[in-house]
Amino acid sequence: MIIPLLEKAIASRAPLMDSKHESAFRLFNGFTEGFPDLIVDIYAATAVIHDYADNLEQGALIVQEAQQFLVTSLPWLRAGIVKTRNGATAEDKRGKLLFGTELDRKIKEHGVWYAINLTLNRDSSLYLDTRNLRKWLIENLKDRSVMNTFAYTGSFGVAALKGGASSVVQIDLNREFLNLAKDSYTLNGFPIRKGNFISRDFFEQMGNMKRENRSFDCVIIDPPFFSTTAKGKVDQEKESARLINKVRPLINDGGHLIAINNAVFVSGQEYMQTLETLCKDGYLKIRELISVPEDFTGYNPVGKPITDPSPFNHSTKIAILDVKRK
């Protein structure tokens, strides 16, 4: 049952397969392409198979079938891992080697190198749904100062630097994530300045920035769906406006605020209503919405999403807002 779907997926993504096998893309999105137990991502020449099956034995059989097909159909693959969402151990969830010996450690996108660690956590250290945003950052932030909050492994900041940003501050609570961002800097020949990598709680650091009278031409806010620390709570389903208001005072007149909401249960209309309410005072204006790439949303999608993402095209809802200061 899975093989015909994978055959169709490979045919649809053929234009994304570069001859040097340096790119990254979603090869198969089972949630939208008719097989919700399986997702397959490609990072350079490494396949990352995500097993979402509730039944672990059934999931293992699906993964085995998919692996055999991929190795035969894509002989250039050097390695493959499986991430078992309902696995019993942290290693199961982060990823176990299926074949090959060495996982790829970097990918190239829009002429930019990104360091990757495919077993860093449940995700694969570089989100494929925000590829179009990274392109926008390359094209629109020349000579601009940037603050990337909830930076994860810093890919937005790396893209901004590639586009000629004058400075980028990367902020994330997890130092290991920021170390991978530094590896991306090294790959691209960007200087690493210690003060531009801040491993600190978002709420605490925003307070520090305000006390220091810091400001930026562009602030990116891409928080997790939900998290709590001693300093505050992130709740993308109920309190996305609160987070946006935390960074608004730090943006220069004529600057940009890039707001991302990845909550599956928040519809596109709900998020637009939140943004439009924030814009009513006249100091924010929605400039444009950034789409999620088609390989990620799925070609020839089957069924309906949990909530309607329109006017966005995916539950990862990305908006660029222009900022006006008093």
Mean pLDDT of all residues belonging to the chain: 96
**Residue 69 C-alpha from the chain's centroid:** 27
Write the single-letter amino acid at 141.
Answer: L
Task: Give the residue among 161, 198, 195 at the shortest CA–CA distance from 177.
Answer: 198
Q: Which helix (H) or strand (E) holds 126?
A: none
| Three-class secondary structure of residue 213 per DSSP | coil
Where do the CATH 3.40.50.150 domains begin and end in the chain?
122-323
pLDDT at 255: 98
Summarize pLDDT for 174-206 with one digit per residue, the tens: 999 999 999 999 999 999 999 999 999 999 999
H or E, element range at 55: none
**Do 94 and 121 contact (CB within 8 A), yes or no?**
yes
Looking at residue 326, what is its pLDDT? 78
Residues forming a β-bridge with 47: 42, 80
Whether residue 300 is predicted with pLDDT greater than 80 in this model: the reply is no
Taking residues 111-129, what's their average pLDDT? Answer: 96
CATH code: domain 122-323 is: 3.40.50.150
Domain with CATH 3.30.750.80 in the chain: 2-104
What pLDDT was estimated at residue 303? 81
pLDDT on residue 299: 85
pLDDT, mean of residues 106-127:
96
**pLDDT band at 232, cuts 50/70/90?**
confident
**Are 314 and 26 in contact, with CB atoms under 8 Å apart?**
no
Cβ atoms of 27 and 42 closer than 8 Å: yes
Q: Mean pLDDT across the stretch 223-233?
A: 86
CATH 3.30.70.2860 describes domain 2-104? no
Q: What is residue 225's predicted lDDT score, i.e. its pLDDT? A: 81
Assess contact for 246 and 278: CB atoms under 8 A.
no
Q: Output the six-digit token pair for 213.
A: 């009278």
| pLDDT for the residue numbered 301 | 83
**What are the start-end ranges of the E strands in 9-63?**
24-29, 38-43, 46-51
Q: Tell me, what's the pLDDT at 74?
A: 98
Task: Decide: 132 and 293 in contact? Cβ < 8 Å.
Answer: yes
pLDDT more than 90, % of the chain: 91
For the record, the structure tokens of 93 come out as 């969830």
